[in-house]
Amino acid sequence: MNMHAQPQRTLAETALIDAFGERLSLLPGDGAVMVKRDDAIEAIKHGLPTRRVESWHYTDLRRLLTKVPAFEAGAVAKALAPVLEGSAVLPVLNGVSSAKLPEIDGVTVQRLSEKLTDGSVAPGLDPYGDDDAIGALNTAFVADGYFVDIADGTELEKPIELQNLQAGGQSHVRLLARVGAGAKAIILERQTGEGDEAFVSSVSQLVVGDGAEVTWLIVQEQPETATHLAQFKAHIGKDAKLTLFVMNAGGKLVRQEVVVRTTGEGADFKLRGINLLAGDTHTDTTMVLDHAVPHTTSTEVIRNVVTGKARGVFQGRINVHQYAQKTNAKMACNTLLLSDDGEFSTKPELEIFADDVVCGHGATVTEIDHNHLFYLMARGIDEKSARGLLVKAFVAEVIEELDDEALVEALEARLDGWFSTHG
Amino acid sequence: MLEIKNLHARIVDDGTEIIRGLNLTVKAGEVAAIMGPNGSGKSTLSYILAGREDYEVTEGDILYNGQSILEMDPAERATAGIFLAFQYPMEIPGVATMEFLKVAMNEQRKARGEEPLKVPEFLKRVKEAAASLSMDINMLKRPLNVGFSGGEKKRAEILQMKLLEPKLCVLDETDSGLDIDALKIVSDGVNALRSPDRAIVVITHYQRLLEHIVPDSVHVLYKGQVIKSGDKSLALDLEANGYAGVIGEAA
């Protein structure tokens, strides 16, 4: 007899377990997929992670997730004009992919529901560890999304925008992409919606082929009532480059995980992140980066603006494997704290098992520089505008580094949008 | 235009008194040079005129066109027409110079009830001003003062002054860090702004700058007071004999 004492389930845990029972018959998947779903919900039944789980220390999901809304089958979300003009848009509306898809040269797009039904995605559904609550939640409930395959050598003329738009209730989406050897692509992942009570899980999985170059941009602008649990996982091949840009500018409870592994020599990873935090919200960006082979490089720059009662977290863990010699990795997390009630926690971790590497990290928390403020005001710019300019400058620096005029303009417009409502 | 009356001011942080009963009057159309040894309070005076919060006025007053400016913040003073060309212009990463110029010009216009400049007119003015100072327009695409050499920063200050068309210009050691050619260009830029309705206060260590920007009056600042005033010959006298004589006289 099992005498193990289970703590009483929270409302959210109960809601999730009940929802799984109700949804099960509607979820696509062959036998292999359904087994993964069962395993995943078992993990949830053991309880959501608390602060006692190291990787969730600053985001006690069990305490913070106070309730989970039911599915709203009738809710309607509408596709949006893309962030980058001219992008091919692949919308997931209220958790459902579109049957009508744009034709893009060198690109094959499949609905994920089909790949769940035929079981071809089953091997990728395993959570990456015991503490992978987002992976488990998503595997249990995922119903749709896309698989985007970009053929070897294809240079995409237009960006692709993957839109995950919620309209309230729950949605669980997976976005898979393979960028073939030598291919070049800009892919934007848009996470937003208009549902008041929303619970979203979204997992993106990317394979960057040898010599390929990918810029992947996550623009998260959920309403201030939504819970958004997201994961981005990538493998970067030989001499391939991945730039991941993450902008969190919304959501009530947000966790964006970034799980990246360099798999071929010469691979390069750049993470550039902006967290614009306002209101009474909690936003966590957690990165686990594995330098798994020799001669790979990475830089991570995270900039945070904290206003109101917002709380932010950045955890950045870099694992340099034993034979991953000549690794070069640098991580920085800078926070502009604009309110006495806001807070930001930074936890850099370097786990280095190789002996010939260059790794560094730094973290700062600052207020607005009074010398800068004085200089701008001495030119006639009133205090409010001057502060606005300086705060925007602090994060815009990260965007400007992307070095692509159309990208920079489009993202700065998103920034302006945020500042006009929260400035 | 500018009347400083028995001004006393101290550093807010530690209470050190820097300005100790300073009197100075500068009329419209006048170019006044302020000279003095290190630590006499020259830069402090310029910051106090611009409204920097690190200093607190404890006594006396500063009148600009007959009105006290002590209660005005730096932005209000700037829109009223007071301009400080900084000795060490601040580097501000992330703020594009062009964007900054546009915001500054339009904020000042707004405060005066004028329409914002249209983009072509704005660009035209910037191009003209940059050309007159032999500045590369591409420099202005960079973040404000970031990566500018010392000389480029000083030119950028004068560029801002030209574009903002202030009525009272305070130049804090604008000659420091300039080579002879740049000194000439910057001085020409300042001289072009001389006009009957504008006053210019030039703070400097050296006579050299005053050969290019010839002052109407020269004032020696020492221990937070003006201890001697005269015409341009006073600057020559200081250059030849140093401050010791003047300081001795005053003591």
Q: What angle do CA A159, A176, A56 make, to 5 degrees?
A: 110
> Rounded distance, CA A186 to CA B101, Å?
33
pLDDT band of B246, cuts 50, 70, 90: confident
pLDDT, residue B33, reads 94
Q: Tell me the whole-structure pTM to 2 decimals.
A: 0.87
Q: Do B160 and A379 touch (CB under 8 A)?
A: yes
Residue A73 and residue A83 in contact, taking contact as beta carbons nearer than 8 Å: no
Beta bridge partners of A306: A277, A337
As a whole number, mean pLDDT of residues A348-372 equals: 93
CB pair distance less than 8 Å for A378 and B164: no
Measured between alpha carbons, how far is B5 from B43 in angstroms, rounded to an integer?
18
The answer to whether B108 faces chain A, any CB pair under 8 Å, is: yes
How far apart are alpha carbons A344 and A332 in whole angstroms?
A: 14
Rounded (5°) CA angle B186-B192-B193? 100
Structure tokens at A119: 């079981």
Q: What is the pLDDT of residue B90?
A: 92
Best A272, A303, A375 residue to mutate vs chain B (most B CBs within 10 Å): A375
A52 close contact with B: CB closer than 8 A:
no
> Are B50 and A378 a contacting pair at CB < 8 A?
yes
Q: What are phi and psi of B55, to 5 degrees?
A: -120, 145
CA distances from B182 to A161, B97, B162, B169, B188 (A): 51, 20, 16, 19, 10
* Residue from A374, A390, A391, A405 to probe the interface with B (highest B Cβ count within 10 Å): A374
Contact predicate A46/A10, CB 8 Å? no
Domains in chain B (CATH in brackets) are: 2-250 (3.40.50.300)
Q: Answer whether residue B176 shows pLDDT above 90.
A: no
Which chain A residue is nearest to residue B78, measuring alpha carbons?
A380
Q: Helix, strand, or coil here: B128?
A: helix
Partnered with residue A206 across adjacent β-strands are A177, A234
The identity of residue A243, as a single letter, is: T
Of A370, A380, A390, the CB nearest to B75: A380
- pLDDT > 70: what percent of chain A? 98
**Position A10, amino acid:** T
| Contact by Cβ (8 Å): B81, B2 | no
Rounded to whole angstroms, the Cα distance separating A313 from A37 reads 29
Q: Could you tell me how far CA B176 lies from the centroid of its own chain?
A: 13
* The two three-digit tokens of residue A291, written as one number: 């330098």
> DSSP labels for A33-93?
HHHHHHHHHHHHHT----TTSGGGTT--HHHH----PPP-TT--------SSTTPEEEEEE
Burial B42-58, CB ≥16 within 10 A → b, else e? bbbbbbbbbbbeebeee
pLDDT digits (tens, 9 = 90+) for B23-55: 999 999 999 999 998 889 999 999 999 999 999
DSSP A139-180: HHH--EEEEEEE-TT-B-SS-EEEEEEE-SEEEEEEEEEEE-
Answer with the residue of higher pLDDT: B107 or B248. Answer: B107
Q: How confident is the model at residue A93 (pLDDT cuts 50, 70, 90)?
A: very high
Does the pLDDT at position A7 exceed 80?
no
CA distance B22 to B28: 20
Q: How far apart are CA A217 and CA A206, in angstroms?
A: 12
Write the pLDDT tens digit of every residue in B7-29. 999 999 999 999 999 999 999 99
Provide the CB-side half-sphere exposure for A403 (13 A, CA).
3
| Closest-CA residue to B35 (of B248, B209, B212) | B209
CA neighbor of B150 nearest in space, from B184, B125, B178: B178
Question: Whose CA is closest to A298, among A214, A236, A382?
Answer: A236
| Nearest Cα residue in chain B from A382 | B75
Residue A387 has pLDDT above 50, yes or no: yes
Q: Provide the 3-class DSSP secondary structure of residue B243.
A: coil
The mean pLDDT value for A128-133 works out to 92
Going A21 to A256 to A102 to A122, the CA torsion angle's sign is negative
> Cα(A254)–Cα(A9) distance, rounded to whole angstroms?
22
For the beta carbon of residue A166, count every other beta carbon within 10 angstroms: 28
Residue boundaries of the structural domains of chain A:
11-367
Other beta carbons less than 10 A from residue B124's beta carbon: 12
The answer to whether residue A92 scores a pLDDT higher than 90 is: yes
Please tell me the distance from the alpha carbon of residue B231 to that of residue A310, in angstroms, as a whole number.
Answer: 60
Q: Rounded to 5 degrees, what angle do the CA atoms A327, A332, A338 make?
A: 170
Q: Is the pLDDT reported for residue A3 higher than 90?
A: no
Instruction: Flag if A393 and B143 touch (Cβ within 8 Å).
Output: yes
B44 in contact with A, Cβ within 8 Å: no
Q: Do A377 and B73 touch (CB under 8 A)?
A: yes
Per CB-CB distance under 8 Å, the chain B contacts of A386 are 75
B53 touches chain A (CB under 8 A): yes
CA B22 vs CA B17, B40, B161, B251: distances in Å: 12, 11, 26, 16
Q: What angle do CA A128, A130, A134 make, to 5 degrees?
A: 65
Predicted pLDDT of residue B251 = 67
Phi, psi of B90 (to 5 degrees): -75, 140
Give yes or no for a contact between A373 and A336, defined as CB atoms under 8 angstroms apart. no
Residue among B216, B211, B89 at smallest CA distance from B161: B89
Average pLDDT over residues B174-201: 91
DSSP count for chain A of H helices, then E strands: 8, 19
Using the Cβ of A301 and the Cβ atoms of chain B, whether some distance falls under 8 Å is answered with no
The pair of structure tokens assigned to A260 is 């990246």
Decide if A375 and B89 are in contact by the 8 Å CB cutoff: yes
Mean pLDDT of A168-197: 95
Can you tell me the distance from the alpha carbon of A98 to that of A273, in angstroms, rounded to the nearest whole number?
Answer: 29
Q: Given an 8 Å threshold on Cβ–Cβ distance, is A380 in contact with B78?
A: yes
Measured N-to-C along each axis, helices B119-132 and B97-111 cross at an angle, to the nearest 10 degrees, of 110
Confidence band of A1 (pLDDT split at 50, 70, 90): very low
Confidence of residue A195 (pLDDT cuts 50, 70, 90): confident
Number of helical H runs and strand E runs in chain B: 9, 12
Asked if the model's pLDDT at residue A5 lies above 60, the reply is no
Q: What is the dihedral angle through the alpha carbons of A128, A129, A131, A135, rounded to the nearest 10 degrees?
A: 30
Q: What would the mean pLDDT of A117-146 be, rounded to a whole number?
A: 95
Q: What is the mean pLDDT of chain A?
A: 94
- For A294-328, what is each residue's pLDDT tens digit? 999 999 999 999 999 999 999 999 999 999 999 99
